Amino acid sequence: MREAGLYCPGGDFYIDPWKPVDRAVITHAHADHARAGSLNYLCATACAPILRARLGQEIAIQALDYGNSLTIGTVKISLHPAGHILGSAQVKVDSNGYAWVVSGDYKLDPDPTNQPFEPVRCNGFVTEATFALPIFRWPSSAETFAEINAWWQQNRDDKRASVLYGYSLGKAQRLIAGVDASIGPIYTHGAVERMNEIYRQSGVPLPPTVYAMEAATKDFSGALIVAPPGMNGSAWLRRFGNFSNAMASGWMQVRGHRRRRAIDRGFVLSDHADWPGLLSAIEQTGADQVWVTHGSIAPLLRWLNEKGIAATGLQTQFSGEDANPAEPEESDAA
């Protein structure tokens, strides 16, 4: 670890650096993992258009298909699906047959908007710990979407709009792909719609959506509006009249988070692994060394060490689910 982030001396590159560097390998395009200013970026092919949209069309990117490898310096590097969002990748670094995998953020639950998590055998594994507590155990996505659809249907019957908060990149598209679009029209915040366009261009099927600022109607009763969490309580919501609001997040499993967010409903849907998912992913790697970062580090370290796996905490600047600060492109006129 160096001041700019996780460094590989054999290849002279950083993985998800938080300061500008000469060569950055990016696991995915969320703001806490992909930052502007580096001279060169390497990412999965599906991540490249998102990275350009967020960091600038002029940045220098080398895109690599999942499973393909290249040699940088004295190490071989390959990227493998992480199941987190479109284009998310685990980075495998192999030096003379000894391999580390840096997983970035990941989930094991199936998701039609990106490729599923691929277990990668390795000697050392770097894992997140966003939801590394035994209380976090996700219901099936089918169960959660049934709850969301019932909530939307009831609001439609009561002539209310339904405002559903989800992070603009990844979560929002997963929500839009999973709801029953026959219930009513779907409108979006500008930050969500910009990512929708990239997902569609990448071949991800999404039902029709309309950018709310360009809607031909002023009557949003019965509609679903998908927006970033930062819009909660903002003046932007006034245009929708009478509405019920909800949030989709792993944190919604904890009632205190729902109260603090001042929302009507909370739906448990996360783009991160829950406690059983973390343990399963680590076990499938076969790694005998694990570095644990961002989240509930201590409980996971304790569990792993008790199982005979050498586990160490790693301090980074990554933030986890729905903790990303609002970015400039996520603003929308009020």
What pLDDT is attached to residue 243? 97
pTM for the full predicted model: 0.94
Give the residue carrying structure tokens 């099936």.
140
Q: How many Å apart are CA 13 and CA 7, to the nearest integer?
A: 6
What pLDDT is attached to residue 2? 78
Query: pLDDT: is 247 or 319 the higher one?
Result: 247
Q: Which of 123, 119, 127, 108 is nearest to 299 (CA)?
A: 127
Buried b / exposed e over 112-134, threshold 16 CB at 10 Å, is: ebbbebebbebebbbbbbbbbbe
Residue after which a domain boundary falls, among 242, 267, 292 = 267
For residue 319, is pLDDT > 90?
A: no
Same domain? For 108 and 165 the reply is: no
Residue after which a domain boundary falls, among 267, 290, 309 = 267
Query: pLDDT: is 318 or 70 the higher one?
Result: 70
- Rounded percentage of the chain residues whose pLDDT exceeds 90: 88
CATH of the domain at 84: 3.60.15.10
Same domain? For 194 and 291 the reply is: no
Q: How many Å apart are CA 43 and CA 19, to the nearest integer?
A: 17
Mean pLDDT of 133-146: 97
Q: Which of 247, 269, 244, 272 is nearest to 260 (CA)?
A: 247
| CB atoms closer than 10 angstroms to residue 219 | 11
Q: Assign 261 a pLDDT band (cuts: 50, 70, 90).
A: confident
3-state secondary structure of 224: strand
What pLDDT is attached to residue 332? 61
Same domain? For 258 and 156 the reply is: yes
What pLDDT is attached to residue 316? 86
Mean pLDDT of 23-48: 97
Mean pLDDT of 216-226: 95
Mean pLDDT of 22-43: 97
What pLDDT is attached to residue 256? 72
Give the residue carrying structure tokens 């982030």.
5
For residue 72, is pLDDT > 90?
A: yes
Same domain? For 41 and 60 the reply is: yes
Q: Which of 55, 124, 57 is nearest to 91 (CA)?
A: 124
Mean pLDDT of 293-319: 92
Q: How many Å apart are CA 162 and CA 192, to the nearest integer?
A: 16
Same domain? For 255 and 301 the reply is: no
Query: Tens digit of pLDDT for each residue in 154-167?
Result: 999 999 999 999 99
Q: Which two tokens stand for residue 222?
A: 């019965």
Same domain? For 290 and 306 the reply is: yes
Query: Tens digit of pLDDT for each residue in 171-213?
Result: 999 999 999 999 999 999 999 999 999 999 999 999 999 999 9
Mean pLDDT of 78-95: 98
Whether residue 38 is contained in a domain is answered as yes
Q: Assign 5 a pLDDT band (cuts: 50, 70, 90).
A: confident
Q: Which of 170, 123, 155 is nearest to 271 (CA)?
A: 170
Same domain? For 302 and 230 the reply is: no
Q: Which two tokens stand for residue 83?
A: 């199941």
Strand pairing category for 61-64 and 69-72:
unpaired
Give CA separation, 5 vs 34, 155, 245, in Å.
12, 46, 38
Same domain? For 165 and 310 the reply is: no
What pLDDT is attached to residue 320? 73
Q: Which of 205, 255, 226 is nearest to 330 (CA)?
A: 226
170: burial class by Cβ within 10 Å (0-12, 13-18, 19+)? buried
What pLDDT is attached to residue 324? 46
Q: How many Å apart are CA 190 and CA 227, to the nearest integer?
A: 8
Q: What is the DSSP string of 277-319?
A: HHHHHHHHHT-SEEEEEEESHHHHHHHHHHTT-EEEEE--S--
Same domain? For 131 and 146 the reply is: no
Residue after which a domain boundary falls, among 267, 284, 316 = 267
Same domain? For 145 and 232 the reply is: yes
What pLDDT is attached to residue 322? 59
C-beta of residue 296 within 8 angstroms of C-beta of residue 303: no
For residue 65, is pLDDT > 60?
A: yes
| Residue range of the domain that includes 170 | 141-267
Same domain? For 13 and 131 the reply is: yes
Whether residue 1 is contained in a domain is answered as no
